[in-house]
């Protein structure tokens, strides 16, 4: 394991933080951490990279305890909120980071050019103060990659980028994975996470309420689509009985429903003299699953609650 946490907790006097976090991240995977604003995502990342000390619990990074100097040299980190000296050029900033990382001068220059090319800034000139927000975001990513880290923590790495920039960063992260690097991604962009992450964790109110593969989570979001003839008032009542929040588009009704409930639904629709032409499952999206997880419950008696708990 590249990351293992054991009841890792960081509490603040005014509330917030994260509590009793158990996580495991494998080498060579892209792992996504999702959660609402204020759920504890950034606190957890800051604790793992050593910016804040845990209140209790422990964690291992690359097999070593938190704060290990040797391990910290093998980490890359892009915080969500960063600020660079406006008077520096991109290469001057990278030279400073190379020195802080202990890179030999020539190696630092070589890596600076490599990472600038990786993030699409090989031709960058001028002072950082003249850069757009997207350019500064790319530069921050270059700083995180400069020392060729084994484990990279990225907090909202594409938040300031346009769609083309996001695609380029996705390709970069997939290339890092192909090289055996591990990426811990903190993001609000669920579509990005769905495209590149191998596994995810969802945090709510400081507690992990889901950890696992995307496929398993999406499978747990149960929906069916029913194609009907005319939708009478009686048919409408049947649909609302099985799912009060069902949606209707023309003659297609979509319900949050498990496959075991489909026979009863069809029977009730036929009894209401509905014309049922088709019933089929509908694949859930990560957004569907995320909203369902964080909207209600999520954690029950300290355990991970499955979706659609009866």
Residue by residue, DSSP assigns 33-61 as EE--TTSSHHHHHHHHHTSS--SEEEEEE
Furthest CA-CA distance within the chain:
80
Which distant-in-sequence residues (6+ apart) come within 8 Å of 215 by Cβ? none
Tell me: pLDDT of 297 over 60: no
Distance separating alpha carbons of residues 35 and 294, to the nearest angstrom: 8
Q: Which residue has the higher pLDDT, 165 or 95?
A: 95
**Whose CA is closest to 298, among 34, 12, 53?**
34
Tens digits of residue pLDDT in 7-36? 999 999 888 899 999 999 999 999 999 988
pLDDT at 306: 36
The neighbour count for residue 307, using CB atoms within 10 Å, is 17
pLDDT tens digit string along 31-88? 999 988 888 999 999 999 999 999 999 999 999 999 888 898 899 999 888 889 999 9
This prediction's pTM: 0.78
pLDDT at position 156, please? 84
The predicted model gives 92-118 an average pLDDT of: 94
CB 156 within 8 A of CB 35: no
List, in sequence order, the alpha helices (H) in the chain: 41-49, 69-72, 90-100, 105-118, 133-145, 163-178, 190-196, 214-220, 233-242, 262-271, 286-295
Rounded mean pLDDT of 122-151? 93
Q: Residues 126, 107: contact at Cβ < 8 Å?
A: no
- Give the up-direction half-sphere exposure of residue 104: CA atoms within 13 A in the CB hemisphere: 2
Domains by residue range for the chain, with CATH: 3-217 (3.40.50.300), 222-283 (3.30.70.100)
d(C-alpha 145, C-alpha 75), whole Å: 9
**Per-residue b/e over 51-61, b at no fewer than 16 CB within 10 Å?**
ebebeebebbb
pLDDT single digits (tens) 173-199:
999 999 999 999 988 788 888 889 999
- Please say whether the beta carbons of 208 and 202 come within 8 A: yes
Task: Please state, rounded to an integer, the average pLDDT across all residues of the chain.
Answer: 88
pLDDT tops 80 at residue 128: yes
Token readout for 63 is 């097999």
């Amino acid at each position: 394991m590249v990351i293992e946490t054991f009841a890792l907790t960081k509490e603040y006097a005014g509330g917030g933080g994260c509590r009793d976090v158990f996580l495991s991240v494998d080498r060579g995977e892209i792992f996504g951490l999702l959660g609402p604003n204020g759920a504890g995502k950034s606190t957890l990342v800051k604790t793992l990279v050593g910016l804040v000390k845990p209140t209790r619990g422990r964690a291992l990074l690359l097999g070593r305890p938190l704060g290990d100097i040797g391990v910290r040299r093998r980490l890359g980190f892009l915080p969500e909120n960063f600020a660079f000296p406006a008077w520096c050029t991109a290469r001057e900033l990278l030279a400073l980071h190379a020195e802080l990382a202990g890179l030999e001068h020539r190696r630092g220059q070589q890596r600076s050019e490599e990472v600038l090319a990786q993030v699409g800034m090989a031709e960058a000139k001028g002072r950082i103060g003249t850069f757009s927000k997207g350019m500064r975001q790319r530069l921050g990513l270059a700083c995180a990659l400069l020392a060729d880290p084994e484990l990279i923590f990225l907090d909202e790495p594409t938040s300031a980028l346009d769609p083309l920039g996001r695609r380029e960063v996705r390709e970069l992260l997939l290339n890092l994975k192909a090289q055996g690097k591990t990426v811990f991604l903190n993001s609000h962009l669920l579509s990005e996470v769905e495209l590149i992450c191998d596994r995810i964790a969802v945090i709510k109110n400081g507690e992990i309420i889901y950890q696992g593969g995307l496929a398993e989570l999406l499978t747990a979001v149960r929906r069916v689509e029913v194609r009907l003839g005319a939708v009478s008032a009686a048919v409408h009542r049947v649909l609302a009985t099985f799912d009060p929040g069902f949606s209707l588009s023309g003659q297609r009704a979509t319900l949050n429903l498990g496959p075991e409930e489909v026979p009863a639904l069809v029977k009730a629709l036929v009894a209401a003299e509905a014309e049922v032409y088709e019933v089929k499952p509908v694949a859930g999206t990560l957004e569907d699953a995320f909203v369902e997880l964080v909207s209600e419950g999520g954690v029950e008696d300290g355990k991970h609650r499955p979706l659609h708990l009866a």
